[in-house]
């Protein structure tokens, strides 16, 4: 408890200091009077030309609205410069004019960037055309004409994957700068009422002071975003526009790589020409059907380098446009971290089978499963129903192989598979609450050689959220259920997988049943807290995942058999003082158990963030973990006890508005008895020599030594022997990005990342008492005369009788990877693009005894990389 008190004492002290610094200031206002803007139709007037000038008579039909209020940093005060806005419409479009006042042109920052990058000065409009206080369509333009567009869900979650077609022009004028927008009504969703009221908000970023101001004043700590909007009135006679867009594409791809002698599948180059189709069809004004046939994701950034020694799957975020758009509708988080009923990267995944055998010489293994087609039906109705349906079909994949005698054959590595996801939510209680459900299925066309996969998998769940007192307080939760079916082999594999580990030697509540052909489980969470209003946030809740829950056919589950409780509180300081713009600090406590009742974890943590007056920033945190037990460490052996751990981190950076900025970070962790430790160093730098050119470099180095890294399990004297080793683990990576934006529609981006991971094992030991508190009672070391190393194999003579009792292969390894992507993107007309892509990659293994520089020289610079060149052209037909 002394360490906990050490954490809490500075927390209380910092709050006291900050309260004293602000005690003369009044309490922030928590609710502002709702503003209204009345627009008019200009259908009968001369059409508006989008050129950044407001010289058409149509603009005279309405008055300017202004009186923006500062949102950050000094809430509800007059901004440094005011903004004016006008809105008119006709039967096909909504037109918006902005005049951003700034008499000193040197303070107008015209930085370029990629779409959705929001560089320099910008202005934004948010439209809640459903008028549901939860969802909105966001359109942003920078002074340089770069567009940004996002779909806002759940009263404040911004999704930049939404890419509608709209038009904007900006201009520098004597009074400041202007932006003129034309938003086709087909890109919005609204009901079929004669007269409509929409939610409305506009935000301006004043770059020189790093200041945000809004048309509708918003408190510093709002309970949500969309629910705080003002109103747009005067919309009469609008007819819902059914969207119909078809976008065919063609891709020419050419790959080169180092040829392998006698390997018929690696002759040095491959070429391929493909075509496909994407379509967006408005079934109603509220609901849209998205279709894709033979989708191409060739220009998507590569996943970052990563290595995991704990046996668990590494989670990578979805990047493919078809699955990212409207992703929020299909989210159903439960359990811990990334646990979700739907994980779209399962669709098109790497085939789960492989061609392996003693007589196989060469293999042509597909890297990904072909997506034959996918359809997504989604949207939200005026009655508050959110609907999402997704179905996808992936192809049967075969691996071709050549035997040592020269004969050729193939084997199935992934069956024809159908994936289905259904999602629904309904708003009620004046849009302050919702209840919803989700259902998923996976069906495989089973054949020989793939009996290790589930034949069918089902999952479903119910979720809800209730807000009250102007959305300040909330209660939310969900419950999920899964059921998988398959052969005895498939269900046995599931029971024994790292996610479940029913074979654990000390588990009394689960056991392996080799005759099972199905498995069912449950999970869920519940949380209550304060999410808005005032300066305090707090939450308390619990989560559970039963041992039998299995969602990894179409979802993501890292670990089953877990029960957690947590409670946390955070203090926000949004009133600027003489030394900071805003700040927050919080504490949290959590515990974890398994379903047998074992008390596995206790953790106390604190963390905070400060944005200083000069716009520099710091982020910091620390934790004490007095109790750490892990069920999975010994891969089916007994629970393992880690030593107590303390860690802290601090990251700090300069003003990111500057043309040159830096971030520095350090993470430090230590366990008692030097059982393990972590040292992580991070350096980030950004340089923008020109408004059109920006570069960044992120360098990371990590040391993670441990005295007890799991190596293998061997049978000795009719019992399991759990062999561990001391490990020196090092990781180094550098990520470089370059963006050159010739104009808002023509951009060139480069991404490159070398990644090296080294794991050097020594001083092998074995488990004697896995739950002993003292490390010396938990393990014993092998003597030098018990271990012999020869021909890259360790032989163990435990009883010293001169005979080998068991062996393990040398676990040392160094993994080396380099990935890069050069993409030129030209949006030659809105919604239609041409991509030129050059991707390069190197993967291999180095000598763990070499230095990082030697590994770079031998395994990166001297290897011939694989190159991929592609040209992709799309054209969007709007019908």
What is the pLDDT confidence band of residue 298, given thresholds at 50, 70 and 90? Answer: low
What are the phi and psi torsion angles at 269 (to 5°)? -160, 155
> Given this model, what pLDDT does residue 793 score?
95
Name the CA dihedral angle for 15, 17, 22, 28, rounded to a multiple of 10 degrees.
Answer: 0
Closest by Cα among 554, 559, 389, 415 to 484: 554
Q: Is pLDDT at 105 greater than 60 in this prediction?
A: yes
- Residues 576-593 have a mean pLDDT of 95
Q: Is pLDDT at 3 greater than 70 in this prediction?
A: no
Q: What is the pLDDT of residues 234-289, one digit of tens each?
A: 999 988 777 788 989 999 999 998 888 889 998 999 999 989 888 988 887 778 89
Kindly list the domain boundaries of the chain, sorted by start residue.
32-236, 311-373+392-414+434-560
> Given this model, what pLDDT does residue 808 score?
96
> Given this model, what pLDDT does residue 114 score?
83
As a three-state string, the secondary structure of 797-809 is: CCCCCCCCCEEEE
- Residues 388-392 have a mean pLDDT of 95
> Given this model, what pLDDT does residue 13 score?
36
Q: What is the pLDDT of residues 625-652, one digit of tens each?
A: 999 999 999 999 999 999 999 999 999 9
> Given this model, what pLDDT does residue 800 score?
93
211 is written with which tokens? 């200041």
Residue with tokens 């860690």: 647
> Given this model, what pLDDT does residue 367 score?
87
Q: Residue 763: which residues within 8 A CB-CB, separation 6 or more?
A: 707, 725, 726, 781
Largest CA distance in the chain: 102
Q: Is pLDDT at 15 greater than 90 in this prediction?
A: no
What is the pLDDT confidence band of residue 301, given thresholds at 50, 70 and 90? Answer: low
Percent of the chain with pLDDT over 90: 73
Question: 40-44, 71-75, 627-631, 842-846: which has the minimum mean pLDDT?
Answer: 842-846
Q: Is pLDDT at 809 greater than 90 in this prediction?
A: yes
Percent of the chain with pLDDT over 70: 95
> Given this model, what pLDDT does residue 300 score?
56
Q: What is the pLDDT of residues 28-69, one digit of tens each?
A: 556 689 999 999 999 989 999 999 999 999 999 999 999 999
> Given this model, what pLDDT does residue 353 score?
92
Whether a cis peptide bond, with omega within 30° of 0, leads into 73 is: yes
| CA distance linking residue 502 with residue 631, whole number of Å | 10
- Residues 812-839 have a mean pLDDT of 91
Q: Is pLDDT at 854 greater than 80 in this prediction?
A: no
Quick one: fold of 32-236?
A: Immunoglobulin-like (2.60.40)
| DSSP secondary structure letter of residue 106 | G
Q: What is the pLDDT of residues 129-179, one digit of tens each?
A: 988 898 899 999 999 999 999 999 888 888 887 888 899 999 999 999 999
| CA distance linking residue 722 with residue 765, whole number of Å | 9
Question: In Å, how far are 161, 435, 693, 740 from 111, measured between CA atoms?
Answer: 22, 43, 9, 11
What is the pLDDT confidence band of residue 221, given thresholds at 50, 70 and 90? Answer: confident
Q: What is the pLDDT of residues 602-620, one digit of tens each?
A: 999 999 999 999 999 999 9
Question: In Å, how far are 256, 292, 853 from 860, measured between CA atoms?
Answer: 16, 37, 10
The per-residue pLDDT of the chain, averaged, comes to: 90
Within 10 A of 65 (CB to CB), how many other CB atoms are there? 19
Q: Is pLDDT at 27 greater than 50 in this prediction?
A: no
| CA distance linking residue 812 with residue 762, whole number of Å | 9
| CA distance linking residue 48 with residue 41, whole number of Å | 12
Q: Is pLDDT at 16 greater than 90 in this prediction?
A: no
519/159: higher pLDDT: 519
Cα angle, residue 358 at apex, residues 356 and 362 outer, rounded to 5°: 60
Question: In Å, how far are 34, 82, 700 from 680, measured between CA atoms?
Answer: 48, 45, 7
89/326: higher pLDDT: 89
304/159: higher pLDDT: 159
> Given this model, what pLDDT does residue 30 score?
61
Which residues are paired to 878 by β-bridges? Answer: 245
> Given this model, what pLDDT does residue 32 score?
84
- Residues 743-768 have a mean pLDDT of 94
What is the pLDDT confidence band of residue 26, given thresholds at 50, 70 and 90? Answer: very low
């Amino acid at each position: 408890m002394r360490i906990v008190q050490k954490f809490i004492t500075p927390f209380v002290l910092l709050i006291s200091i900050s309260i004293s610094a602000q005690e003369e200031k009044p309490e922030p206002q928590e609710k502002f009077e709702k503003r209204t803007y009345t627009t008019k139709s200009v259908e009968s007037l001369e059409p508006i030309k989008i050129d950044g000038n407001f010289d058409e008579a149509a603009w005279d039909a309405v008055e300017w609205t202004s009186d923006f209020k500062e949102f950050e940093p000094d809430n509800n005060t007059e901004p440094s410069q005011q903004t004016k806005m006008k809105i008119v419409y006709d039967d096909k479009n909504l037109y918006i004019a902005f005049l951003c006042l700034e008499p000193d042109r040197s303070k107008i920052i015209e930085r370029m960037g990629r779409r959705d990058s929001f560089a320099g000065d910008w202005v934004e409009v948010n439209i809640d055309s459903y008028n549901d206080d939860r969802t909105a369509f966001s359109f942003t333009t920078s002074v340089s004409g770069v567009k940004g567009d996002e779909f806002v869900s759940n009263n404040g979650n911004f999704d930049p994957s939404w890419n509608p077609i709209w038009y904007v022009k900006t201009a520098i004028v004597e009074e400041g700068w202007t932006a003129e927008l034309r938003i086709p009504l087909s890109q919005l969703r609204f009901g079929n009422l004669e007269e409509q009221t929409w939610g409305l908000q506009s935000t301006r970023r004043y770059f020189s002071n790093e200041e945000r101001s809004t048309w509708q004043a918003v408190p510093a700590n709002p309970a949500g975003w969309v629910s705080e909007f003002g109103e747009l009135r005067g919309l009469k006679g609008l007819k819902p526009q059914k969207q119909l867009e078809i976008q065919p594409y063609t891709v020419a791809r050419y790959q080169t790589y180092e040829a392998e002698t006698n390997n018929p599948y690696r002759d040095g180059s491959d070429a391929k020409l493909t075509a496909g189709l994407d379509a967006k069809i408005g079934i109603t004004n509220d609901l849209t059907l998205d279709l894709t046939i033979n989708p191409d994701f060739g220009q998507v950034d590569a996943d970052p380098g990563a290595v995991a020694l704990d046996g668990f799957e590494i989670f990578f975020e979805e990047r493919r446009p078809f699955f990212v758009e409207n992703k929020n509708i299909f989210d159903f988080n439960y359990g811990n971290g990334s646990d979700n009923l739907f994980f779209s990267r399962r669709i098109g995944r790497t085939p789960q089978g492989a061609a392996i055998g003693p007589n196989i010489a060469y293999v042509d293994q597909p890297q990904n499963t072909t997506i034959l087609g996918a359809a997504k039906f989604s949207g939200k109705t005026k009655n508050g129903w959110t609907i999402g349906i997704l179905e996808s079909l992936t192809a049967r994949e075969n691996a071709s192989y050549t035997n040592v005698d020269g004969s050729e054959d193939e084997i199935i590595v992934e069956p024809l598979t159908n994936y289905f996801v259904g999602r629904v939510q309904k708003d009620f209680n004046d849009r302050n609450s919702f209840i919803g459900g989700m259902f998923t299925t996976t069906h495989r066309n089973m054949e020989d050689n793939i009996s290790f996969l589930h034949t069918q998998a089902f999952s479903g769940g119910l979720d809800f959220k209730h807000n009250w007192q102007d959305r300040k307080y909330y209660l939310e939760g969900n419950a999920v259920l899964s059921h998988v079916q398959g052969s005895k082999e498939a269900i046995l594999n599931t029971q024994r997988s790292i996610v479940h580990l029913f074979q654990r030697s000390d588990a009394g509540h689960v056991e392996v049943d080799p005759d099972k052909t199905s498995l069912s489980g449950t999970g869920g969470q519940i949380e209550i807290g304060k999410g808005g209003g005032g300066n305090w946030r707090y939450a308390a809740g619990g989560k559970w995942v039963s041992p039998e829950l299995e969602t990894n056919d179409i979802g993501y589950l890292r670990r089953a058999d877990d029960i957690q409780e947590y409670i946390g509180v955070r203090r926000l300081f949004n009133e600027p003082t003489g030394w900071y713009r805003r700040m927050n600090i919080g504490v949290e406590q959590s515990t974890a158990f398994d379903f047998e009742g074992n008390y596995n974890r206790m953790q106390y943590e604190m963390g905070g963030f400060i944005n200083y007056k000069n716009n520099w920033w710091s982020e910091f945190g620390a934790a004490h973990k007095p109790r750490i037990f892990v069920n999975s460490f010994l891969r089916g052996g007994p629970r393992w006890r880690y030593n107590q751990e303390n860690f802290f981190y601090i990251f700090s950076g300069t003003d990111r508005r500057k043309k040159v900025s830096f971030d520095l970070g350090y993470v430090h962790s230590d366990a008692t008895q030097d059982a393990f430790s972590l040292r992580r160093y991070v350096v980030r730098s950004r340089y923008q020599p020109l408004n059109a050119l920006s570069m960044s470099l992120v360098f990371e180095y990590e040391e993670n030594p441990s005295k007890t890294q799991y190596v293998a399990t061997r049978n000795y004297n009719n019992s399991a022997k759990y062999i561990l080793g001391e490990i020196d683990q090092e990781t180094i990576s550098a990520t470089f990005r370059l963006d050159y934006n010739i104009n808002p529609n023509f951009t060139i981006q480069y991404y490159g990342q070398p990644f090296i991971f080294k794991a050097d094992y020594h001083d092998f030991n074995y488990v004697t008492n896995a739950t002993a508190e003292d490390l010396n009672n938990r393990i014993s070391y092998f003597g030098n005369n018990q271990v012999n190393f020869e021909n890259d194999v360790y032989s163990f003579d435990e009883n010293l009788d001169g005979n080998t009792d068991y062996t393990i292969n040398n676990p040392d390894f160094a993994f080396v990877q380099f990935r890069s992507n050069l993409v030129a993107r030209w949006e030659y007309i809105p919604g239609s693009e041409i991509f030129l892509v050059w991707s390069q990659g190197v993967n291999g293994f180095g000598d763990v005894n070499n230095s990082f520089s030697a590994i770079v020289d031998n395994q990166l610079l001297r290897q011939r990389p694989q190159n991929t060149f592609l040209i992709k052209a799309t054209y969007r037909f709007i019908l």
